[in-house]
Structure 1
Amino acid sequence: MSKGNQLTFLDNSQDALTPKHEPIPIAKKKPAKKRISPHKPVPPDAYSNHQLCLFQDFLANTNDERDQLGNAFDLWDSVPRFSITRKRQEEMRLPSGALPICTIDFKYRGNEFKILIRPARLKDPITGEEKEHYPGAREELVEHALRKIAVDDGFYDVDGFRSGCRFTLHRLRTHLADQGHTLRYDELTEALDILSLSNIDIQGETDDAEVCYTRMNYLSLLARVSKKDHSVNNSQDSKWLIQFHPLITNSISNLTYRQFNYRRLMKCRTQLSRWLISQLVLKYTQASLTNNFIMRYSTIKRDSALLEGYKRERDAIATLDASWDELKSLGVLTSYTKAEERGKRAKIVDVVYTIFPSPQFTAEQKASNRRLIDAKKSIEEGIRKIR
């Protein structure tokens, strides 16, 4: 893990992902308080504070530009947490409906990481049959939508070290439909259940060779309040509240998120295309028309875990090529080149992709850099005022 994104992983308690360094203060330091239970009501000031305002404020020229922007989170969006497809899940499923704990290895900023995903066990409301589910592409889209909703109706609780948002199923469904992903209400409820019940262990080593470990659900809290009547409209308009994974809270706390074109990401037809966009946003921070970017097929296969199901290497490479073509059609790239590295008997060992960014993506990355600089200046100005 890079020194710019240091975290201390302690246990599965409320402070399991407290940063090694305290967030930059925006008010005078108060005496230490008792830990706040994640089940306690969110305090009113969690919906309006300086750190949250920085997270919700984008660098954009118009309201339309602002509406298409979202936030990418450095470590969390590098974890291949939605990489198990429905087809692969069915192949792994036991006759009892159970799924094994899935282990995936990947690298994050040069450091070895491993995740263990424990599936959610749900009961079919009609048949009563119990089956287990890993979070997949549908749950990924729902999480992205919730993160976008948090820009308008989110919270960041400084003392409780938690963040999240409130919404209704109707609002969530309408938002996803606007992005081209229409889901039924029962599908949304099932996705929220899977996100709140699935468990993910993240283990890795820091630059100091310290072992980091955390265990937490994808959504650390899911709550709903509704009227006593069980009408369909009441169900759609029930008030929901979720809390994000602590890695997202940590990123909000330490300003390690980046604005990006959320609307474009949601237009992607495949998970791999969405993963590629996220990695370019997080890693290709100095994008320019004179500064290309190199990514290897072997790196993408390892760190995305989305190309493991192919029996033939050339089929996986063709799928990756199609994703690069999609990013080109969406205005992320102007072009890309590929150079195949071959071994014995001309077998493809690796493929090196050289990426040439579009003027639009270059401008977006520069705006994201500027937003981060402005946010840090705002924090520093707050420190000077309280001194």
Structure 2
Amino acid sequence: MENKKTLPLLNNVEPETCFDNQIDLFRFLLGNNYEERDKLSNTFDLWDSIPRYSTSRQAMVKIRKEKGFLPLKQITFKYRGRILQAHIQAARIIDKKTGQETDYYPSANEELVEDALRKLAADQKELGFFDKKNYTSGVVFTLYQLSTELQKRGHSRSYPEIVLSLNILAGSLIRISTTDAQEGEGFSLNPYFSGLSASSRKKLSTDESAKWTVQFHPLITQAIDVIGYRQFNYAQMMGQKNQLSRWLHKQLSLKFTFASLSTTFEMRYSTIKRDSGLLEGYALERQAIKKLDESWVELTENGVLMTHNKKEIKGERSKILDVVYILTASVDFIKEMKSANKRHLLVSEKREHFSKED
């Protein structure tokens, strides 16, 4: 394959080992035609359950003014019944023009860039790679390709903005640890992107055809290896204007796998607040609940849900203690879940077949 020769080396990754059956399974998106497959991508069970993009750029400005830097951020969340913690260390970026150093946590901008790169890896055979020997995965791309994908999904970004996001993702560290000792204790510490490199015969900042390479986080590599991902409507998710709506869409795609016209799915405000990290900072609880209500409206208007109802749990003096949301999936979402279930089964069977051949 000619594309193997153009793959830049990162962490001793050998180009000829970077194309594997696992990446072919990752690209196998179950749709009836190109238009349907173009809307699809993969969401990752554990990695997409970590509240790793929960601080807005506006909030960062406020913290910098108070402290002069961004401190280590700690978030506690629950994943499939287990209490986990994420510690996020901000990236320190140097402005080449001014020499000024600025701290950034990964935020909504970086989340969009990561999602777009994952789509490129799943969409185009010559871009995504999986290296079994060195246990890495990633994508080779140009700024033009990434910019075009973002623009196509309604999130246009300039090249400098994209490069800033790439550097933030490569420079930010995230430590994920267990705290409950249910199955022992452990942690992992890695950058959001395990590797980032670029090469050009011209000036990188102005060369839209320069080759860039990203190595994904090890949890993505592991998920690609063990089929820890699910097909979902990426185009619809990217079309949600609200970051919380996009987070909820991914969570529904991962958890509401049994969707049907006769079943509902319940989510609590307290759970969403804890596990998304996107409802902190409101002066009043009612303001955060209103923000969440707006996301349910957006998901319903955009065809993810058919209906959404809520039941407030109140204490003394009618104080709201929690809110239970009862969700009914749309007909289209039900079809998508059935296709995702079928695709997951087919991919698992093919993986087992490849394992026997090896």
TM more than 0.5:
yes
Q: How many residues align?
A: 347
Question: How far apart, in 2, do the equivalents of 1:129 and 1:384 lie?
Answer: 55
Question: How far apart, in 1, do the equivalents of 2:148 and 2:357 lie?
Answer: 43
4+ residue segments displaced more than 6 Å? none
Question: How far apart, in 2, do the equivalents of 1:174 and 1:311 lie?
Answer: 39
Displacement after TM superposition at 1:332 (Å): 0.5
Q: Which residue among 64, 85, 93 is the counterpart of 1:93?
A: 64
Q: Which residue identity does 1:103 align to in structure 2?
A: Q
Normalized against structure 1, the TM-score is what? 0.87
Displacement after TM superposition at 1:231 (Å): 7.7
Q: 1:108 to 1:96 in 2, by over 3 A?
A: closer
What is the aligned partner in structure 2 of residue 117 from structure 1? Answer: 88
Question: How far apart, in 2, do the equivalents of 1:367 and 1:257 lie?
Answer: 14
Question: How far apart, in 2, do the equivalents of 1:336 and 1:193 lie?
Answer: 39
Q: Which residue among 115, 132, 141 is the counterpart of 1:167?
A: 141
CA contact (8 A) 2:160 2:205 kept: no
What is the aligned partner in structure 1 of residue 287 from structure 2? Answer: 315
Question: How far apart, in 1, do the equivalents of 2:348 and 2:159 lie?
Answer: 40
Question: How far apart, in 2, do the equivalents of 1:309 and 1:179 lie?
Answer: 29
Greater shift, 134-143 or 82-91, is seen at 82-91
CA contact (8 A) 1:104 1:114 kept: yes
> Is 1:223 aligned to residue 186 of structure 2?
no
SS at match of 1:334: strand
What is the aligned partner in structure 2 of residue 298 from structure 1? Answer: 270
Q: Which residue among 236, 252, 255 is the counterpart of 2:208?
A: 236
What is the aligned partner in structure 1 of residue 307 from structure 2? Answer: 335
RMSD: 1.6
Q: 1:268-322 CA distances to partner (integer Å, 9 max, x unpaired)?
A: 1111001100110111111111110000000000100100011111111111010
Displacement after TM superposition at 1:95 (Å): 6.3
What is the aligned partner in structure 2 of residue 371 from structure 1? Answer: 343
Percent same amino acid at aligned positions? 44
Q: 1:374 to 1:206 in 2, by over 3 A?
A: farther
SS at match of 2:266: strand
Question: How far apart, in 1, do the equivalents of 2:284 and 2:192 lie?
Answer: 32
Q: 1:119-138 CA distances to partner (integer Å, 9 max, x unpaired)?
A: 01111222221110100010
Q: Which residue among 99, 113, 116 is the counterpart of 1:128?
A: 99
Q: Which residue among 214, 230, 240 is the counterpart of 1:268?
A: 240
What is the aligned partner in structure 2 of residue 26 from structure 1? Answer: none
Q: 1:303 to 1:230 in 2, by over 3 A?
A: same
Could you tell me which runs of 5 or more consecutive residues in structure 2 were left unpaired when the two chains were aligned: 1-8
CA contact (8 A) 1:82 1:137 kept: yes
Q: Which residue identity does 1:358 align to in structure 2?
A: S
CA contact (8 A) 2:85 2:179 kept: no
Q: 1:232 to 1:242 in 2, by over 3 A?
A: closer
Q: 1:309 to 1:42 in 2, by over 3 A?
A: farther
Question: How far apart, in 1, do the equivalents of 2:38 and 2:110 lie?
Answer: 22
What is the aligned partner in structure 1 of residue 111 from structure 2? Answer: 140
Q: Which residue identity does 1:98 align to in structure 2?
A: F
> Is 1:282 aligned to residue 260 of structure 2?
no
Question: How far apart, in 2, do the equivalents of 1:180 and 1:116 lie?
Answer: 31
Q: Which residue among 326, 339, 353 is the counterpart of 1:381?
A: 353
CA contact (8 A) 2:10 2:197 kept: no
Q: 1:98-145 CA distances to partner (integer Å, 9 max, x unpaired)?
A: 211111111111111111110011112222211101000100000000
Question: How far apart, in 2, do the equivalents of 1:318 and 1:99 lie?
Answer: 28
SS at match of 2:134: coil
SS at match of 1:236: coil
SS at match of 1:183: coil
CA contact (8 A) 1:38 1:160 kept: no
What is the aligned partner in structure 2 of residue 17 from structure 1? Answer: none
Displacement after TM superposition at 1:380 (Å): 2.9
Q: 1:42-84 CA distances to partner (integer Å, 9 max, x unpaired)?
A: 422422x211111001111011100110000000000000001
Question: How far apart, in 1, do the equivalents of 2:31 and 2:168 lie?
Answer: 35
Question: How far apart, in 2, do the equivalents of 1:198 and 1:220 lie?
Answer: 10
Question: How far apart, in 2, do the equivalents of 1:176 and 1:324 lie?
Answer: 24
Q: 1:5-61 CA distances to partner (integer Å, 9 max, x unpaired)?
A: xxxxxxxxxxxxxxxxxxxxxxxxxxxxxxxx95224422422x2111110011110
CA contact (8 A) 2:89 2:174 kept: yes
What is the aligned partner in structure 1 of residue 41 from structure 2? Answer: 70
Could you tell me which runs of 5 or more consecutive residues in structure 1 were left unpaired when the two chains were aligned: 1-36
Q: 1:244-279 CA distances to partner (integer Å, 9 max, x unpaired)?
A: 000000000110100000001111111100110011
SS at match of 1:100: coil
Question: How far apart, in 2, do the equivalents of 1:303 and 1:371 lie?
Answer: 27
Question: How far apart, in 2, do the equivalents of 1:123 and 1:45 lie?
Answer: 34
CA contact (8 A) 1:103 1:116 kept: yes
Q: Which residue identity does 1:193 align to in structure 2?
A: N
Q: Which residue among 254, 258, 265 is the counterpart of 2:226?
A: 254
Normalized against structure 2, the TM-score is what? 0.93
What is the aligned partner in structure 1 of residue 27 from structure 2? Answer: 56
> Is 1:43 aligned to residue 15 of structure 2?
yes
